[in-house]
Structure 1
Amino acid sequence: MRRLFLPTVTLILLLILQTTVTRADYCGEHKVPFGMEVHKNGNVNILCSRPNCHEKKYAECPERATSTSCSTNSSWVGGVTQHSDGGLRLMCCEYDLLPVYSTIQYQKLQIRRGEYFEGDEQMDGDTVISFDLIGDIEQIKEPDGNFSYNLLIYRYHCGNIPDTPPAWYMKKQWPYWDKEQ
């Protein structure tokens, strides 16, 4: 009995030690990432907002952050997951018309530990006419072992957003029943 107990305890301890700790930060279904902060301890947070023209935006986001890059010109970062080793995974939200309604504001805006970026909103009275959002985050390991991040920032122009959602958006909402059946 004693021999069986010791390997079981050892196995349980090994499983507990191998479990990776992760931190996740998501904008949610109705917000966009307008900023990012890197705390002095290396933890990453994204800052989210819902500009008043956002209700006309129709994006498709996955359930989890699994990508290392949101490399298409039709995606933005909808969330991040940071593992205990500092590795970053991104949730890439797709919006086919992003290249039509936005322009690149910053190609590689670098932020390091203890720094942050906060995008701009341009207003016309009480109405947002354009805002900045994070299109991609590139993680770079520095020689000292810390990470820095290059951000791709889009300036989104609200005035050109379509008033009705694309057909694919309506079909992906749950529950979806085909009205023609």
Structure 2
Amino acid sequence: MRDPLLLLLLTIPTVLSDYCGEHKVPFGMEVHKNGNVNILCSRPNCHEKKYAECPERATATSCPSNSSWVGGVTQHADGGLRLMCCEYDLLPIYSTVQYEKLTIRPGEYFEGDEQMDGDTVTAFDLIGNIDQVTDSNGNYSYNLLIYRYHCGNIPDTPPSWYMKKQWPYWE
């Protein structure tokens, strides 16, 4: 007689997730030799002025918008990667593309740069998109879109759409 618990565990698909949370941004990515993906998160000192809207879970295969960054990843047992795309309408205004197609393979990692003025971060890199690529042998690699975010250009007050999404909101 087979153990029913073992049978149940074998039929449940494995899912690995990694999220930056509400107060951090993805500045790096690590692909382990076994293919597991981790994103590296940070909270630059100018982050409190950033107003992004993130979904509850990672369901997208790509973040194609120029106003989004990767706020989290979910990797399924079959190796498929899903992204949580956080929207920030002003990202195209306050950032520039640093790398359009930076390739990361198993056993490699990317860590973005921070530009400093004394103890203050003036600009930092963040991951705008991750495209999963499969070669002819079935191996995965990842192409990253990296933005350089310029902190000095961030507005001091939140955009009006952000304030309307806060509860309670009255006109």
Q: 1:114 to 1:97 in 2, by over 3 A?
A: same
Structure 2 unaligned blocks of 5 or more: none
C-alpha RMSD of the superposition: 1.7
2:142: which partner in 1? 149
- Distance in 2 of aligned mates of 1:128 and 1:112: 29
Quote how far apart the aligned CAs of 1:48 are. Answer: 0.2
1:136: which partner in 2? 129
Q: 1:167 to 1:12 in 2, by over 3 A?
A: same
Say if 2:151 is the partner of 1:158: yes
- Distance in 2 of aligned mates of 1:172 and 1:12: 44
- Distance in 2 of aligned mates of 1:52 and 1:149: 29
Structure 1 unaligned blocks of 5 or more: 1-8
Quote how far apart the aligned CAs of 1:18 are. Answer: 3.7
- Distance in 2 of aligned mates of 1:23 and 1:12: 21
Larger Rg: 1 or 2? 1
TM-score (norm 1): 0.89
- Distance in 2 of aligned mates of 1:148 and 1:177: 44
Q: Which structure dedicates a bigger proportion of its chain to helix?
A: 1
Pairing partner for 2:170 from 132, 156, 179: 179
Instruction: For residues 119-176 of structure 1, give each alpha carbon's deviation from its aligned partner in whole angstroms, at most 9, with x where no partner exists.
Output: 0000000010000000000000122211000000000000010001112112223xx1
The 8 Å contact of residues 163 and 169 in structure 2, kept in 1 or not, is answered as no
Pairing partner for 2:17 from 24, 29, 37: 24
Pairing partner for 1:42 from 13, 23, 35: 35
- Distance in 1 of aligned mates of 2:169 and 2:34: 50
For residue 127 of structure 1, what is the amino acid of its counterpart? Answer: T
What count of residue pairs does the alignment treat as equivalent?
Answer: 170
The 8 Å contact of residues 71 and 83 in structure 2, kept in 1 or not, is answered as yes
Identity of aligned residues (%): 79
TM-score (norm 2): 0.94
Aligned 1:1-181 pairs, distance under 5 A: 17-173=10-166, 176-180=167-171
- Distance in 2 of aligned mates of 1:20 and 1:67: 19
